[in-house]
Amino acid sequence: MHTHILFEHPLNEKMRTWLRIEFLVQQLNSNLPIVDHASALHFFRNVGDLLDVFERGEVRTELLKELERQQRKLQQWSEVPGVDQHRIDALRQQLKASGSVLMTAPRVGQVLREDRLIGLVRQRLSIPGGCCSFDLPTLHIWLHSPQSTRDAQVARWLESLQPMNQALNLILDLVRNSAPFRKQTSLNGFFQDNGEDADLLRLQLALDAQLYPQISGHKSRFAIRFLPLDSENGIVPDRLDFELACC
């Protein structure tokens, strides 16, 4: 049985930002609880990256616009004969509720941005080895405080991201499920097609091929070049089958 790898590639700036946020939030949650310097630095580095992403654009505005757009798309779907009306209504209610919560929540990342400990650690992260105990005695003492105290503080920080997370997960779920995978074939390691206003390309490739896709393009047109993992000795077959979804 072949193992397949899923690659996702954004076709516009908002989707690029959303995938980065999703990735960073997953990283935030992957090394909990914080028990030592290693797990603390993993957490704080990802918080810092997340705040950098938030500072580059209007995350809340873009998410609210997308929640509206998805509601309009569902409205169109509801007029298609034979569609599951209950499912459509439930999704529209979820989108609406998520939009209301996000609209009344504080600015995305505000709680993290205003936290003194996060601010102190963030300042030192760009310095090689700058989070030693003599550089950051506040972090050192925090790491010696009771586990329950640390856990509660981390939970508060993560809770502050919930309104954004909920909206983002809903949107990405709808986008990812908006198009089925279809079998495609590349010739001499190359494939191109029209994006038809897609936001996201999803590509499944057999692991044993030892190839990876290099994707370029935007919502109206894209090109995929398949390259060998071993750039010296790897071989790209004349014809390569893969699965592709334009979402």
Tens digit of pLDDT for each residue in 39-82?
999 999 999 999 999 998 889 999 999 999 999 988 888 777 77
Which of 61, 53, 57, 3 lies closest to 23, judged by CA?
A: 53
The gap between the terminal CA atoms of the chain, to the nearest Å, is 27
Residue listed under structure tokens 């005695």: 137
220 in the same domain as 170: no
Confidence (pLDDT) at 57 = 81
Q: Do 180 and 201 contact (CB within 8 A), yes or no?
A: no
Q: How many residues can be counted in the chain?
A: 247
The parent domain of residue 171 ranges over: 31-177
Query: Could you tell me if 73 and 161 lie in one domain?
Result: yes
Mean pLDDT of 160-181: 95
Q: What are phi and psi of 200, to 5 degrees?
A: -150, 135
Show which of 123, 151, 177 is a domain's final residue: 177
Same domain? For 125 and 224 the reply is no
Q: Which of 133, 162, 177 is the last residue of a domain?
A: 177
Asked if the structure places residue 124 within a domain, the reply is yes
Question: Tokens 């439930």 identify what position?
Answer: 90
**186 and 173 belong to one structural domain:** no
**Segment 175-217, tens digit of pLDDT:** 999 899 999 999 999 999 987 789 999 999 999 889 999 999 8
Enter the pTM of the model. Answer: 0.92
Cα dihedral 143→147→153→155 (10° resolution) = 130
**63 and 151 share one domain:** yes
Strand-pair partners of 185: 241
- pLDDT for the residue numbered 124: 92
For residue 12, give every residue at least 6 positions away whose Cβ sits within 8 Å of its Cβ, in sequence order, or none. 199, 218, 219
| Residue whose tokens read 């290693």 | 38
β-bridge mates for residue 206, sequence order: 4
Within a domain: residue 4?
Answer: no
The percent of residues in the chain predicted with pLDDT above 70, rounded, is: 100
| 211 in a structural domain | yes
Checking if the pLDDT of 87 tops 90, the result is no
Q: Are residues 38 and 147 in the same domain?
A: yes
**Model pLDDT, residue 199:** 92
Total domains present in the chain: 2
CATH of the domain at 235: 2.60.440.10
Give the per-residue pLDDT at 98: 94
